[in-house]
Structures are given as structure tokens and as C-alpha cells.
Copies of this chain bind each other. A is one copy, B any other.
């Protein structure tokens, strides 16, 4: 298993790759599967059904050395911090842009999970008339919420807390319905929150 510097599991970009029925059934039934994979499968579903076009930005990697002896082979490289967000695309003729995070905590979502760059990027998205949000998964409860960029920014301005309480999500964020395939009907929550 390959891990990012922050400990999350790395998985190659599957967004545009068609999944077989077998893969879908495996992944839907596998609760240990990553939140990122769930979102990728939802995006695949939305694209196949003509609902939205949303893609995952590849993980930025700083390549230091490539060996060309037998075709290009990267032998020395480092993960870089994503300076924007994980996902963007078009939905209902609007630009949408969001960051996905999951937490093992039962009580709160730690704000240390979100970088300053990502908040600045989403502020810009909102300024230009796009839809910007965070999609946050509480692993222990198997619950997913959407928090608009405005909500998160306002929370940070009004509070000195280093985390957002779970209760805040229950009361203020938009809950995402979980299903079999796709696992996450997150655009339905986007409809309620933004349209």
C-alpha cells in the first residue's frame, strides 16, 4: 500500500477509467474502501448518466529524475501539496470545485486537515461565481456532509476552535444520502444547498 505524507492511502487516478460491474460490486460492498474512491465512482456514475462532468485533479508530484534507458521511468520524485482542491467540473452549467476529507474522529473534524491554500482557492471560486464546498466523511458513523466554502470560512472567523464539532455538521451542514451505486448521492445535496 502506498501512502500520502498525511497517511491517506494513495490510489491511482481511476476517474475516467470505466469500472467493470465486478469492480463496482466489489467496491460498493467494501466498507474499507477509501472515501476518495467512493467519490470517483459517484463522478463516473454522474458522467455516465449525463448529470455532471467532474474530474479529480491528479496528485501533484515533483519529478527529480527520469531514467530513459527503457522508456521513461521515474526513479526519484516527491509528493507535493495540492495547492488547489481535489475535484472540479461543471454541473447545471455552473463551475463546481470541492475538497474531500474524511476523519476517524467521532467528535469533530480537525481543521488542520484543510490547508490555507485550499481555503484561499475556494474563496476565489466563490468570488468568480462558482460553487465551492467541502465534502466531509465521518468514518466511524459512515456519514457524509457537505459544508459550503462560505460556511467553513464563517465558522473559522467566528470561532477560535481548531476543529468543527460533529454536532455542527448534524445541525448546519447538508447530509449526503448513501446508496449502493453510487455510494454517495452528493450532487443531490449540492442541489439543496446551492440551487
Interface set of A (CB-CB < 8 Å, partner B): 2-5, 10, 12-13, 15-17, 47, 50, 52-53, 55, 57-63, 65-66, 68, 71-80, 82-84, 88-91, 93-95, 97, 117, 121, 124-125, 127-130
- Please tell me if the beta carbons of B83 and A15 are within 8 angstroms of each other in the complex: yes
- Please tell me if the beta carbons of A52 and B128 are within 8 angstroms of each other in the complex: yes
Given contacts A58-B60, A75-B75, 17 further A-B pairs with CB under 8 A are: A2-B63, A2-B65, A2-B66, A3-B68, A3-B72, A10-B66, A13-B60, A13-B83, A53-B124, A58-B61, A59-B61, A59-B63, A74-B76, A74-B78, A88-B88, A90-B125, A95-B95
Residue in B50, B61, B91, B127 whose beta carbon sits within 8 Å of that of A61 in the complex? B61
CA distance A155 to B93 in the complex (A): 26
Interface centre among A4, A47, A63, A75 (most CB of B within 10 A): A63
Which B residues are CB-close (under 8 A) to A17?
83
- Please tell me if the beta carbons of A77 and B80 are within 8 angstroms of each other in the complex: no
- Nearest residue in B to A50 (C-beta to C-beta)? B127
- Please tell me if the beta carbons of A79 and B90 are within 8 angstroms of each other in the complex: no
CA distance A121 to B55 in the complex (A): 10
Given contacts A72-B78, A129-B93, contact A117 B16 (CB under 8 A): yes
CA distance A5 to B63 in the complex (A): 14
Give the Cβ gap from A113 to chain B, nearest Cβ, in Å: 18
Which B residues are CB-close (under 8 A) to A5?
71-72
- Please tell me if the beta carbons of B124 and A13 are within 8 angstroms of each other in the complex: no
Would you give 5 A-B contacts (Cβ < 8 Å), ordered by A? A5-B71, A13-B80, A52-B128, A58-B82, A59-B61
